[in-house]
Each structure stands twice: as structure tokens, then as C-alpha cells.
Structure 1
Amino acid sequence: MTRCRLCGSTALASVVDLGATPPCESFLAADQLDRMEPAYPLHLRVCTDCWLAQLPPLITPEETFSEYAYFSSYSTSWVEHARAFVADATGRLELGPGSFVVEVASNDGYLLRHVVERGIRCLGVEPSVNVGAAAREAGVPTLTAFLDPATGADVRAEHGPADLVVANNVYAHIPDVVGFTQGLRALVADDGWVSVEVQHLLTLIEENQYDTIYHEHFQYYTVASAARALASGGLALVDVETLPTHGGSIRLWARPAEVAGEPSRRVVDVLAREKAAGLRELSGYAEFSARVAKVRRDLLRFLVEAAERGQTVVGYGAPGKGNTLLNHCGIRPDLLAYTVDRNPYKHGRFTPGTRVPILPPEQLAVDRPDYVLVLPWNLRDELVEQLSYVHAWGGRLVFPIPELSIVEVGP
């Protein structure tokens, strides 16, 4: 990587180098285990001119998202998060039967199904063929396409401008930030709203959430860098909400620059927090790499000592972030016998790089392991409740991030 993809600067500084790993969602079938896997450098850098943190665009969105293993509806808490957002946005923006809502990267219809239930016209724009098909089967109108300025213009011409455009957990996934943002502007009405949810770089750094760095995330935003990115497509940031999702996210509310007005007090406050954390100077990133190395040492020490005691450790979940962690730490089936996941699409497959088998969740109760390593640590509260039954045989949960934590769960 030689130039910043947002501002074009060559002033890129290293934040953390996680080595080379396969793409995090490239789960392997059994007949692929003896084949070579491609691995790509996973080296996060930050532009010292616009302060956008970014990875080189070594893989294309087409490689990742044409057939995708992540279905949003398998997370109970995420579906509830989407329901609450739709309820709040409907009231905030006074949406009704005459309104039009577009969601970009709408996945399996986890959010727009709540819009459909309210009788509001909507459309999902989803690049993955398999999850888009699931959305249509659930009654959510869905276009299979990647968003760019031409797609945005085509949707607007056919369906009219959108009163609300939603882009949840996609703004980090596109290498062409400017073109994607221009696509958002093409979709939204001249007096409409755009809502973008994305992980907050501030909490990623503060909470040591390095496993959320993977190839399908091309960039990592502060509010300051997100505002600059939105402006590149003619949108202005007017409000921000801080959210607990994905370990700490921001919901950015933007409007066409011509009607935006002044940003809210919340924008000013979060910008001040970012500045105080040093995220507009290299000092704010200086210790991150050392803290990442400690997570690796602590987790490996725990797994090796458990194996030497003859105790069994298995995983829960097979999220993309888990594959960054497993590959960076070099954790294979000798230390983690298998992991389980609620998504049937992943059953019988193996994690990329580390080849850990993925089984149905029911296997936990059959094998009664001593420890369950929770890979989607961001769902901690949800999973402590879901996995309370491991208490029946004295099992315990292990959370690796932000630091190693072993949790007793009750009935």
C-alpha cells in the first residue's frame, strides 16, 4: 500500500502487523483440506494526513461477498438491535406508507423485515447471491448488486429517491470509499437521511479489539475520518450515536450537504474524545501492537496449560473475527478441538488457515468440555445467558478480548 484510499496521501504509518492469513470467511469443505489456501498480509496502517486507518485492498469485495457465510438473523441480539433501530428511525423521521427505505448490504433481510411489517416500501441492495435469496424468501424485496454511483442512480430512477438509506456494517467493507459514498448520495432524496453504522476505531484501540481487523474490513473509522469520507460523496455528518454493538460502534446520521446544517453536540463531544485519546497523532497508536502481543501470549499460555492438565477446550462461534484470532495465535485442533456455530451453512466445514472443525451447538452438551472459548466476544451478555447450561457439568466460558477472562456461568 503506497497511498491512502481516501485522501491520496503517501504518509502511511504502521499500527499493527498481524502476519499473513487467509480471508476470514473462506471456510473450507472437507474435500478442500489438502489444497493450498491463499494468505494475504494483514497489516493495519493509518494515514497521518486524514487519519483513516486502513488495510491494503488485497482481495476484492467480489471474492468475499458473492457467496457469503454470514447470515445476520442467526444473532438474536442483532435482530433485536435492528428492530429497535427501525422503530426509532420511523418515529424520528416520521416514516409512513408513502416513504421509501433502502438498505445497502441488507444481508438476509434481518432489518428490512421490520420495515416490511410496518407497511413501508423498501428495497435491499445485497451483493451476496445466497443471503439475498434468503431475504427474498422472507418477503424482503432485494436487488443483488454492489453499490456504486451507477447502481445508486439506477435504483433511484426505478424506485424514486429514498427518504432513508441504511448502511449497517458495510462502510468498512468497501475499498472504493468515495465511489460507495457517491452511491449513497445517489440513492438518498435531496432532503433525506443516511444512517451508517460502523465499528469505532476509538474502542477498537482502547479495548484491544484487534481480531476485528480482517481483510474484508478495508478501513476503520473515527468520527473525524468518517465525516471526511462522507463529505467525499456530498454528504455531511449531522449527528452521531455511540453504540455497544460489535464491541463499540458509531451510528452516523448524514444528509446531503446542501440541507445538513450544523453538526449536533454529540458530534462535537465524540470528536473531542477522539482527540483526547491521541487518534489524530501517532502517539495514540503507539502501544497497540504490544497489547495485541499480550493477548496472544496469554491465550496460548492458557490453552497449553489446559492441554497439559488433560482438560478439554472447544470453541463457540465461527465469526470472521475468530479467524483473525486463531490464525494470529496459531491455534489449531491440538489446542482447540472444534468450534460450534448456530449457522448450518458452516457445519461440517473448517476454519480458514487453522482447519478447526465447525460443528452444531448441540455437540457441547454431548462432549461436556471443561472450557468453551467464546470467539464472538462482542455478544458476551447474550452468550453468557445462552451457554448457562455448561454449568451443569462444571464447564466455564473463556473470553479472549480485551484480555483473557474465565467466567463461571450459573443455571
Structure 2
Amino acid sequence: MTRCRLCGSAALESVVDLGATPPCESFLAADQLDQPEPAYPLHLRVCTECWLAQIPPLITPEETFTQYAYFSSYSTSWVEHARSFVAGAVERLGLGPDAFAVEVASNDGYLLRHMVDRGIRCLGIEPSVNVGAAAREAGVPTLTEFLGPEVAAAVRAEHGPADLVVANNVYAHIPDVVGFTQGLRALVADDGWVSIEVQHLLTLIEENQYDTIYHEHFQYYTVASAIRALASGGLALVDVELLPTHGGSIRLWARPAEAAGEPSQRVSDVLAREKAAGLQELSGYTEFSARVAKVRRDLLRFLIEAADQGRTVVGYGAPGKGNTLLNHCGIRPDLLPYTVDRNPYKHGRFTPGTRIPILSPEQIGIDKPDYVLVLPWNLRAELVEQLSFVHSWGGRLVFPIPELSIVEPPAVEPPVMKEVTA
């Protein structure tokens, strides 16, 4: 990478170099284990002109998202988050039966199904064939496309302008920031609203969340850099909310620049926090790499000592972030014999790079391991409750981020296993 993808500057400085890893969602089938597996550098840099943090676009969205392993509906808390968002957006914007809402990267319809339930006309734009098909089966109208200005113009011509455009957990996933933002502007009505949720670089740095750096995420936003990105497509930031999702996210409320007006006080407050954290100067990034290295050392030390003591450790979850962690730490089946996941799509497959088998969650109850390493740490509250049955045999939960912590789950009656794996 020689130039910033947002402002074109050559002033890019290293933040953290995680070596080379395979794409985090490229789970392997058994017949692929003896085949070569491509790996790509994973090196985060920051532009000292516009302060957009970014990695080189070494893989294309088409390689990752045409068939996708992540189905949003398998996270109970994420479905509830979407329901709450829809309820709030309907009230905030006064959306009624005549409104039209579009979600970009709508996945399996986890959010728009709440619009359908309210009788609001809606459309999902989802590039992944398999998850888009699941959305249509659930009754959510879904177009299988990648968003760009041309696709947006075609949607607008067919369906009319959208009162609300939602782009949750996608603004980091597109290498063409300007073209994608222009697509959002083409979709939304001249007096409409765009709502974007994206991980906040402030919490990524402060909370050591380096495992959320992977090839699907081409860039990482502060509110300051998001303002620059939105402006590139003719949108202006009006309001911002700080969210706990994904370890700390921002919800950006934007409008066409000509209708935006002055931004809220919350925008000024978050900009001030970012400045105080040093994220508009290089000093705010310099210690991150050392803290990342400590996570690796602590986790490896724990796993090696557990193995030496004859203790069993298995994984819970097979999220993309987990694969960054496993590959950076060099964890193989000798230290983590398997992980489990609620998504049946992943069962019988293997984690990219580290080749750890992915099994059904029932396996934990069968094997009764001493420790369960929780890879989707961002769902900590949900999973401490969901995995409370581990207490029945004295097992404990291990969270690697932001620092290694070992948690004894609450003592409750073991749940019916189908509730654990639904």
C-alpha cells in the first residue's frame, strides 16, 4: 500500500503488523486440508493526513462475500440489537406504511424482518448468494448485488428514493470507500437519512481489540475520519451514538449535505474524546503493537501451562476475529483440539490457517473440558449465560481480549442442549 484510499496521501505509518494470515472466513472442508492455502499480509497503517486506518486491499469483496459463512441470526443478542434499532428508527424518523427502507449488506434478513413485521416497504442489498437466499426464504425482499453508484441508481429508479438507508457492519468491508458512499447517497432521498454502524477505532485501540483486524475490514474509523469519508459521497454527519456492540461501535446518522444542518453536540463530544486519546496524531498509535504482543504471550503461556498440567481447553465460536487471534498466536490443535459453533454451516470444517476442527456445541457437554476459550469475546454477557452449564463440572471460561481473564460461570441448572445450539 502506497497511498491512502480515502484522501490519496502517501503519508501512511505502521500501527501493527500481524504477519500473514488466510482470509478469516475461508473455512476449510476436510478434502482441502492437503491443499495449499493462500495467506496475505495483515498490516494496519494509518494515514497521517485524514487519519483513516487501513490495510491493503489484497483480497476482493467478491472473493469473500459471494458465498459467506456468517449468518447474523445465529447471535441472539445481535437479533435483539436489530429489533431495538428498528423500533428506535421508526420512532425517530416517523416511518409509516408509506416509507421505504433499504439495508445494504442485509445478510440473512435479521434486521429487515422487523421492518416487514411493521408493514414497512423494504429491500435488502446483499452480495452473498447463500445468505441472501436465506433472507428471501424468511420473507425479506433481497437483491443479490454489491453496492455501487450504478446499482444504487438502478434500485432508486425501480423502487424510488429511500427514507432510510441502513449500512451496519459493512462500511469497513469495502475497499472503494468513495464509490460505496456515493452509492449510499444515490439510494437515499434528498431529505432522507443514512444510518451506519461500524467499529470505533477509539475502542479498538483502547481495549486492545486487535483480533478485529482482518482482511474483510479494509479500514477502521474514528468519527473524524468517518466525516471525511461521508463527505466524499455528498453526505454529512448529523449525529453519533456510542454503542457497546463489537466491543465498541459508532452509529453514524448522516443526511445529504444540503439537508444536514449543524451536527449535534454528541458529534463534538466524541471528536474531543478522540483528540484527547491522541488519534489525530501519531502518538496515539505507537504503543498499540506492544500491547498486542502481550496478548499473544499471555494466551500462549496459559495454553502451554494447561497442556503441561493435563488440563483440557476447547474453543467456543469460530468468528472471523477468532481466526486473526489463532493465526497471530500460532495456535494449533495440539493446544486447542477443537472449537464449536452454533452455525451448522461451519460444522465439519476447519479454521483457516490453524486447521482446528469446528464441531457442534453439544461436544462441550460431552467432553466436559476444564476450560472453554471464548473467541467471540464481544458477546461476553450473552455467552457467560449461555455457557453457564460449564459450571456443573467445574469448568471455567477464558476470555483473551482485552487481556486474558478466566471466569467461573454462574451456577445454574444445565440447560436443554437444543437451547444452547439453536
> What TM-score bracket applies, with the shorter chain setting the length?
over 0.9
Q: CA deviation at 1:296?
A: 0.1
Q: CA deviation at 1:305?
A: 0.1
Write the mapping of 1:10-409 to structure 2, written as runs, cut at 5 A: 10-409=10-409
Distance 1:145 1:129 in 2: 9
Secondary structure, aligned partner of 1:13: strand
**What do the CA deviations read for 1:363-401 (whole angstroms, capped 9, x no partner)?**
000000000000000000000000000000100000000
Distance 1:96 1:259 in 2: 21
4+ runs deviating over 4 angstroms: none
Secondary structure, aligned partner of 2:229: helix
**What do the CA deviations read for 1:116-144 (whole angstroms, capped 9, x no partner)?**
00000000000000000000000000000
Q: CA deviation at 1:361?
A: 0.3
Distance 2:165 2:43 in 1: 32
Q: CA deviation at 1:207?
A: 0.1
Equivalent pairs: percent with the same residue?
A: 88
Q: CA deviation at 1:43?
A: 0.1
Distance 1:124 1:259 in 2: 25
Secondary structure, aligned partner of 1:42: strand
Q: CA deviation at 1:84?
A: 0.1
Q: CA deviation at 1:405?
A: 0.2
The letter of the residue matching 2:409 is V
The letter of the residue matching 1:288 is F
**What do the CA deviations read for 1:36-94 (whole angstroms, capped 9, x no partner)?**
00000000000000000000000000000000000000000000000000000000000
Q: Report the number of matched residues.
A: 411
Distance 2:286 2:409 in 1: 36
Q: What's the TM-score, normalizing by structure 1?
A: 1.00
Map of 2:420 onto structure 1: none
Secondary structure, aligned partner of 2:307: helix
Distance 2:227 2:97 in 1: 31
Q: What's the TM-score, normalizing by structure 2?
A: 0.97
**What do the CA deviations read for 1:149-183 (whole angstroms, capped 9, x no partner)?**
00000000000000000000000000000000000
Map of 1:3 onto structure 2: 3
Distance 2:404 2:234 in 1: 43
Q: CA deviation at 1:407?
A: 0.1
- Cα RMSD of the aligned pairs, angstroms, is 0.2
Q: CA deviation at 1:338?
A: 0.2
Distance 2:376 2:255 in 1: 33
| Structure 1: stretches of 5+ with no match in the other structure | none
Secondary structure, aligned partner of 1:258: helix
Distance 1:168 1:223 in 2: 15
**What do the CA deviations read for 1:189-227 (whole angstroms, capped 9, x no partner)?**
000000000000000000000000000000000000001
The letter of the residue matching 1:366 is I
Q: CA deviation at 1:246?
A: 0.1
Q: CA deviation at 1:323?
A: 0.1
Distance 2:197 2:21 in 1: 26
Distance 2:194 2:151 in 1: 16
Distance 1:390 1:53 in 2: 39
Secondary structure, aligned partner of 1:240: strand
Distance 2:119 2:322 in 1: 38
Secondary structure, aligned partner of 1:237: strand
Distance 1:168 1:88 in 2: 15
Q: CA deviation at 1:257?
A: 0.1
The letter of the residue matching 1:232 is S
Distance 1:228 1:267 in 2: 14
Distance 1:359 1:395 in 2: 19
